[in-house]
Structure 1
Amino acid sequence: MKSLWARIRGQKVATIMQDPPPIVDTVTATASNTPATSDAQQSATTIFQHDVAYTRLKHAVSELQGTIKQLEICLTEIQEGQQKHELGLSKTLTTVELLSATTQEVAASAEESASVASQADALAVQGRGAVKEAHIQMARIAETVHKTGDTVIQLGQRTTAITRIVDVIQQIANQTNLLSLNAAIEAARAGDAGRGFAVVAGEVRKLSEQSAAQAQQIAGVIDEIGKEIKLVTSHMDESLAAVDAGNAVVNQAGQALEDIVEAADQVSEMVEQISNAASEQAEGSQQIVLVSNALAELAATVSYSIDKALMDAAQQQAALEQLTALTGHLGDISANLPRQSTAERPLQRYAWCIGNDPITLDPQLSNDMTTTHLLSEIFVGLTRFGPDTGIVPGLAQAWDLSADGRTWTFQLRRGAKFHNGREVKARDIKYSLERILRPETGSPNTWLVEMIEGAKEVMSGQTSNVRGITLSGDYTVKITLEKPYHPFLANLAYTGTSILPQEVVESGHHLTHPIGAGPFQFVSYEPGEKAVIKAFTEFYNGRPFLDEVELLVKLPDGLTDIEALSTGMVDLLQLNARNLESVQGHPRYGKLIRRGPVLRTAHIGLNCGKGGPLGNPLVRQAINLAINKQVVIDQFYNGNARVSAGPLPPGCLGHDENLPPYPFDLNAAKAKLREAGYPNGLHEPLSIHTREGNQMQQKQAALFQDWLGQIGIQLEIRELPWAEMVSTAAMRRCDMHMLTWIGDTGDPDNFLQPLFNSSNHGDMGNRTFFSNAEVDTLLEQGQAIRDPRQRRKHYEKLHRLISEQAPWVFLCHDDQLLVTQPHVRGFSLHHLGIIRLENVWLDRD
């Protein structure tokens, strides 16, 4: 779908609708000026202008017919896509409703699962408590067994002591028995005197024998007790081991239950999350149903709009058929007008002073406005700039963009010719774009096409073929970029990407007699004097009204601007500070001054990369506050400019009218310096480079010196030759410099990318050596945005950020001013400073 809209945008609908008015006005004017009986030369001129206008109108109508037909095809394709979209939306709605019901069931199941998980969690917690209690009881049993074991051990120790006592008793009994035996022997020796003692001795012996016998029995019993104690001790050891094992099992069970509880908690939490998510999903599904219904209603509205657009296209086609018929009648009338010989029609000659010599006749080597004034009339690219900065077809009649935003497919015009009569073919496009990138060409315009896939390999000399440019036949060119880059069409409209015939370039004649495919062809060039071009009668868009144009390098010595106008030497004169006052005061030409905006910003660059105070945004803001921009405008631009709030001028996408400029406020400037850590001003003076011999810059710098001195900043003014002043080395040395930037393509990327991207320090454009990561990121992102509204918001944000960072003192956006003779018709100003001559004609009464 996106590629279809890109294709629609690629057509010349708006531009062709804008182009016919001056042509139609010309037809009307020439028809009304055709006299019944008048001067023959005037009549011939009028008829000639009528013929040219008719031819160009016929081309415009024909091209518009093709555009409307292409629009109708695109709308039909969109309608088919919309019908498929509606069918898919219907299926989606059914699926979403089913999904909603399923989601609600899932939500209910999740709630039930949450309840079960909660119960399981509670049981697991109870089990964990029981295990803890079992662990406590096992610990108590172990403690009791240990105590019993200790008691048994003590009992064993007591039996051992008893055994020792019994042994002593046994020994005493044995000794007593021995003593009683000796006593009996002695009693026997004593006779009757010892008989009583003998009886006692006998009794003692009996008692000792009984004691010995009893002691022996006790020893046996104690021995048995000892054996039992050993057995009990063994059982106690086994019990302790069993208790320890049981305790370990209980511990394992406890750990398992802990894991179960933790898992149960996690399950409960997950089930709760699932339940919540399911509930949210159910609510979301309901929202999707509502949105889908709204989309269905919107789709119906879009379908109606597409149907209406198709009807409008059909009506436009019918109106164009009527217009075609009318142009046919106009052709018949034109054919029947009385003709004069060519000799009787004075040539439509036009002259203007461009002020300098062109630096080259090779468009791919040009990058200055003076050269562009000449070569933009001779050459044309795949695209062209419209009446403003919009893009219209050039040698490419239509184009398409792939869905990924990287591949552009261009359809060339059939029958478009170079000035040598050869038809422009696809191979000329490939050759010309590759030539820009080749190192031996030395083109300063590689930045315009370096984003093409394979361009960098050609720029580095690795190959001469750009793999991103492919051809399909003689009229189709595909260009694939490394990444999406929206401003690409604008780059192709710039004079630096003009298309050249290969055979002319290789012959070397392009540097002395350039051949292009533009509305005018080269006649001659005298350095220091003038260049002459004439109408190309086979220009694809119809020949210009003017027959010949002289671009004067300078006015003759001693001739003033007013004299050049009043004598008819020039038909157009550009105005600046040097000649504006004299022309404004002239009674005739002061009323003929034309004024219009141009994409141009005058500024003071502040060296952000040198280190020191200017590296601080607060100091840069203070300097902005200390410069009185309105005084600069009044004194040096005669009031023909407006104070700028940032780098983007009015008319450029991203320029924010609501962004306030820095006011002239010396107290606020001093406050900024205090905030930056410089309460008494800067410790060292700053230097500003101005162009040698440029009195306007010298006078401005003197004003800056005075204003900055009032906030404690000393400024030293240094004059340098132009080439040295703009060199990278000089830019690194200085603190400040004065320059004006003019947009090349009208796209904000062209205005901001070279000036503020940190990869472009020095000659690449960023002469303030400004670096900011956010700015770099926004610049990169902006290149890929296609939606105009999004691009506008994006670049407004970027514009504000750069204004806050203040790498420049934003001075003013001046107007372009010029004066034309009263007989000049069809002339219009352009935001890019381009002066288009193909629609200009002369009405000399």
Structure 2
Amino acid sequence: MFWSKKGSNLASTTPDFKPAPAKQQDGKAILLRHNQKCAVDKIRNKIDETGFAADSLIQITTEIAQSAETQMSSIEKVVDEINNYSALAEEVFASTENSKQISDKTLEIAQEGTAAVGNSIAAISEIGASVDEAKQVVTALEAKAAHINELLNMIKDIAHSTNLLSLNASIEAARAGEAGRGFAVVAQEVKKLALRSVESVEYIGRTITEINQSIDKTLGAMNAIAAKVELGTQIANSTAEVFGTIIAAVNRSGGVYDEIHSAISKQTASLEHVTDSAQTMGSSFGKLMSTAELASLYTQFVKTSLNSLTDASTELRRITAQMLEESDSASFKGSEARTSVPETIDTFIPFMSTSWTGGQVISNVHTGLLSIDSAGQLCPGLAKSWHLEENNTWVFNLRRGAKFHNGREVSAEDVKRCYEIILNPATRSPNSWTLQYVDGAEEYMAGKAASVRGIQVLDRYRINIRLSSPYSGFLLNLGQFYTSIIDLDELSKGNIVGCGPYRLAVSGDECRLEAFPDHYNGEPYTRRISVRMAPKEAPEEFLNGAYDFMLIDSKALLDKVKGRPGITITDSQLMGIYYAGFNLISRSPYIQSREARKALNHAVNRKRIIDELLGGLGIEAKGPYPPGIVSDPGLAGYKYNPRLAKELLASAGLSGAPKLRILYREDAGGSLFNKITEYVKEDLEAAGIDCVLVNTPSAGYLNVNNIREKCDVYIGRWIADTGDPDNFLQPLFTPDLSTNRSSYKNEAVSRKMALANKILNPQRRLEAYREIQQIIFGDAPWIFLYHPNIAFACHSHISGVKFNSLGLCKYEDIIVGKAD
């Protein structure tokens, strides 16, 4: 599980006091003076720390005042621009009114034009009809002329016949002689009449031909007129269509003008509101400037008071030193506190650890740039102060004189090297995700860059870390024990050298923590902390005085120590979850079927586990998130319903499926994990699922390869490093991370998590993570068991033991009330 580093507060380095032998005094008095000295040193360090904060506050309030002044100037310019724009909008408004009037006039003219075109089309149509009638008359005339030609031909034929008759008559008259002379004269006249008739007919024929030619010309002209009339009609129709288009366009323009008119009216009103708001903002910024100036003044007062407190604490330190010098402290070896952790710690290298149990020790031996205090809040660590610049760049100022346990001063270069070793793919750190948002981390992890470009050492005591995008949980990540700074040169020799309040020595199943007197936060109250790993009889040993304080994570432990005289028990909510995880790449039909996984969730009685194993120290889990991180009243959860579980399994056709393999800690005896495993197995078998326990050593139990190769189900625990929802969920459900022990993969979840951690609005961010939890709940990658409470028991001579909501204890604050 991922856990945070506890307890490093900013302070200047404390001198190493070496008390001289003096008169004999009892050990308790010497212990009290030693504790007094530690308290004075911590007060002095806290004063120094508060001084750093006061300096930062003075700088920030000055910057706020300057920014407010700049904003006021900008707002005044904005108001001026808005006023100018408002005037322009009024001009546009007037122009649109004129344009609308012109548009209305255009519409009227276009309608008149349409009427005129209609009249023209009617007149042209009448002309066309008249031309058609004239053509019909001319055509009839042409037919009559043709008939006259026929008659003339007949007359011409008669004339020729008459001429022949007159010739015959003349011949006969000649034959008759004198008697035929009169007849000859008549014949001659008839001949003349015939010749004149022929001439008249020829004249009339020529006239008729001329008339026919005129008729042809008239017909041609009339056809041309008809064509022109048709063309004129087409043109008039086109003109009418154009006028129709103009009218439609004008009508549309009228609608647009109305919309523009309305929009500009609303815009003008909005601009007035904006102007009022801007003026209000200007007034607010004016008040902010006054407030910032007042805050700066009070901060200066605080700084002055802190200077006085510094002088007083210096004098108190001197007096305390004298008291110790006058005490017989030569034989005083310091106090010791003893405790235990429920499991064996597999590694003490911070960036390789994911164990909550390991965090109990590692967080007290190592320190990061930042730290998490006993209340679970972010506080200074090796960095005494930090601030955010442009382009998502954090600047950290390291405290001078902070030392590794070997006496070497910690530098900005040590920070850079440690962060790059976490990201180095050859290291295979399970905690590389904590720094993945650093600019250039992706290329470095892919082997495409020799260093991380977003981490830059400015000088020995300053370092820049630039993020590729905003990430609200980044500072919290830097406060975790697995991002602690260690001496990598010593690590290459096989030595784990940190810079926390205690040095570490491991012997068998015992961790010995020796106080580091040169720690920047001052020497711890208790000089030695002994931590026993995975004791078999922890409650009995605690009751017999072998341990001074002890974690309680089960009902059995609680029942054994509850009500005993001289023992106090304290409990609080813990941001974490216990779960039965599915190996999602297993071939078991119970695991491959989502409906079957839901059935397994309904088969487990969570309340029985909480009541019988924890003594009520927990609440049923509905999904992966503890309510303290993401509360979701709309999440139904999987209610205990063995009958429904059987029905779902039957509908999935899983009767007679192979046995379900459940991973079991073979060397953990009656530990809580094993008891939970046994309870889960009982419930699943009651639902008709055959199960078998697969033994494996505790040390490698949660190794992802061990899970993938050996089992279908394992029992896991995850405790929050911070209260950040992304920090809690991402390691568990991001593909390819070794902490994703169930091998869960859902592209929608990965995509939504990548978007959610960039959301700054708290409510929108909460809704985003609720949606992600709903998807995971529907996929049922775990049996969601319970969210634990944490409890601890202390003997009466121990004080200062505090476990925060992340489940870690700052050993440096523990005070032993009796001398060894």
- Please give the residue correspondences for 1:106-145 in structure 2 after superposition, counting only pairs within 5 Å: 106-145=92-131
Query: In the alignment, which residue of structure 1 is the partner of 2:578?
Result: 602
TM-score, scaled to structure 2: 0.86
Query: In the alignment, which residue of structure 2 is the partner of 1:574?
Result: 551
Residue 54 (structure 1) shift: 0.8
Which deviates more from structure 2 when the two are superposed, residues 568-577 or residues 390-399?
568-577
Is 2:718 aligned against 1:741? yes
Give distance in 2, aligned partners of 1:580 and 1:391: 32
Give distance in 2, aligned partners of 1:429 and 1:16: 18
Judge conservation of contact 1:562–1:583 (CA < 8 Å) in 2: yes
- Please give the residue correspondences for 1:224-623 in structure 2 after superposition, counting only pairs within 5 Å: 224-247=210-233, 249-337=235-323, 339-404=326-391, 406-505=392-491, 508-509=492-493, 511=494, 513-522=495-504, 524-526=505-507, 528-555=508-535, 560-577=537-554, 579-581=556-558, 583-584=560-561, 587-588=564-565, 591-605=567-581
* Inter-CA distance 637–380: structure 2 relative to 1 (3 Å threshold): same
Computed over aligned residues only, the root mean square deviation of the Cα atoms, in angstroms, reads 3.8
Residue 101 (structure 1) shift: 4.3
1:771 corresponds to which of 715, 733, 746 = 746
Which deviates more from structure 2 when the two are superposed, residues 275-284 or residues 367-376?
367-376
Query: In the alignment, which residue of structure 1 is the partner of 2:809?
Result: 835
* Inter-CA distance 167–614: structure 2 relative to 1 (3 Å threshold): farther
Query: In the alignment, which residue of structure 2 is the partner of 1:22?
Result: none
Give distance in 2, aligned partners of 1:381 and 1:444: 17
* Inter-CA distance 254–478: structure 2 relative to 1 (3 Å threshold): same
Query: In the alignment, which residue of structure 2 is the partner of 1:750?
Result: 727
* Inter-CA distance 419–756: structure 2 relative to 1 (3 Å threshold): closer
Residue 115 (structure 1) shift: 2.3
Judge conservation of contact 1:824–1:842 (CA < 8 Å) in 2: yes
Question: AA paired with 1:844?
Answer: K
Judge conservation of contact 1:42–1:345 (CA < 8 Å) in 2: no
Query: In the alignment, which residue of structure 1 is the partner of 2:675?
Result: 696
Give distance in 2, aligned partners of 1:196 and 1:619: 149
Residue 42 (structure 1) shift: 1.6
Question: AA paired with 1:829?
Answer: F
TM-score, scaled to structure 1: 0.84
- Secondary structure at the counterpart of residue 426 of structure 2: helix
Which deviates more from structure 2 when the two are superposed, residues 383-392 or residues 679-688?
679-688
Is 2:144 aligned against 1:165? no
Give distance in 2, aligned partners of 1:454 and 1:249: 73
Give distance in 1, aligned partners of 2:575 and 2:195: 143
Could you list the per-position Cα deviations for residues 236-262 of structure 1 after superposition, in whole angstroms to 9, with x for gaps in the alignment?
Answer: 344344435544543554454344334
Give distance in 2, aligned partners of 1:502 and 1:180: 157
- Please give the residue correspondences for 1:185-204 in structure 2 after superposition, counting only pairs within 5 Å: 185-190=171-176, 201-202=187-188, 204=190
Residue 327 (structure 1) shift: 1.9
Could you list the per-position Cα deviations for residues 128-172 of structure 1 after superposition, in whole angstroms to 9, with x for gaps in the alignment?
Answer: 332243234334434543553454345334423432432232123
Judge conservation of contact 1:770–1:807 (CA < 8 Å) in 2: no
Give distance in 1, aligned partners of 2:660 and 2:478: 36
Question: AA paired with 1:80?
Answer: Q
Residue 441 (structure 1) shift: 2.0
Give distance in 1, aligned partners of 2:503 and 2:484: 14
Give distance in 1, aligned partners of 2:484 and 2:399: 15
Query: In the alignment, which residue of structure 1 is the partner of 2:792?
Result: 818
* Inter-CA distance 805–441: structure 2 relative to 1 (3 Å threshold): closer
Unaligned runs of 5+ in 2: 1-5, 12-22, 667-672
Give distance in 2, aligned partners of 1:755 and 1:613: 21
| Aligned residue pairs, count | 790
- Secondary structure at the counterpart of residue 813 of structure 2: coil
Residue 193 (structure 1) shift: 7.4
Is 2:637 aligned against 1:662? yes
Residue 71 (structure 1) shift: 0.4
- Secondary structure at the counterpart of residue 792 of structure 2: strand
* Inter-CA distance 618–266: structure 2 relative to 1 (3 Å threshold): farther
Query: In the alignment, which residue of structure 1 is the partner of 2:619?
Result: 642
Residue 595 (structure 1) shift: 1.9
Judge conservation of contact 1:44–1:344 (CA < 8 Å) in 2: no
Residue 724 (structure 1) shift: 8.3
Judge conservation of contact 1:519–1:536 (CA < 8 Å) in 2: yes
Question: AA paired with 1:354?
Answer: V
| Overall identity of the aligned pairs, in % | 26
Is 2:756 aligned against 1:782? yes
Judge conservation of contact 1:690–1:718 (CA < 8 Å) in 2: yes
Judge conservation of contact 2:603–2:684 (CA < 8 Å) in 1: no
Give distance in 1, aligned partners of 2:599 and 2:662: 21
Give distance in 1, aligned partners of 2:546 and 2:425: 43
Residue 61 (structure 1) shift: 0.5
- Please give the residue correspondences for 1:143-182 in structure 2 after superposition, counting only pairs within 5 Å: 143-149=129-135, 151-182=137-168
Query: In the alignment, which residue of structure 1 is the partner of 2:16?
Result: none
Residue 828 (structure 1) shift: 0.4
* Inter-CA distance 599–317: structure 2 relative to 1 (3 Å threshold): same
Give distance in 2, aligned partners of 1:554 and 1:769: 30
Residue 610 (structure 1) shift: 9.3
Could you list the per-position Cα deviations for residues 536-557 of structure 1 after superposition, in whole angstroms to 9, with x for gaps in the alignment?
Answer: 11111111112122222344xx
Question: AA paired with 1:814?
Answer: P
- Please give the residue correspondences for 1:27-42 in structure 2 after superposition, counting only pairs within 5 Å: 39-42=25-28
Residue 748 (structure 1) shift: 1.0
* Inter-CA distance 366–490: structure 2 relative to 1 (3 Å threshold): same
* Inter-CA distance 243–391: structure 2 relative to 1 (3 Å threshold): same
- Secondary structure at the counterpart of residue 568 of structure 1: coil
- Please give the residue correspondences for 1:93-108 in structure 2 after superposition, counting only pairs within 5 Å: 93-108=79-94
Give distance in 2, aligned partners of 1:42 and 1:487: 45
Give distance in 2, aligned partners of 1:650 and 1:326: 45
Could you list the per-position Cα deviations for residues 542-589 of structure 1 after superposition, in whole angstroms to 9, with x for gaps in the alignment?
Answer: 11112122222344xxx7334422443322333334851552356237
1:223 corresponds to which of 190, 199, 209 = 209
* Inter-CA distance 837–277: structure 2 relative to 1 (3 Å threshold): same
Question: AA paired with 2:369?
Answer: L
Give distance in 2, aligned partners of 1:204 and 1:614: 139
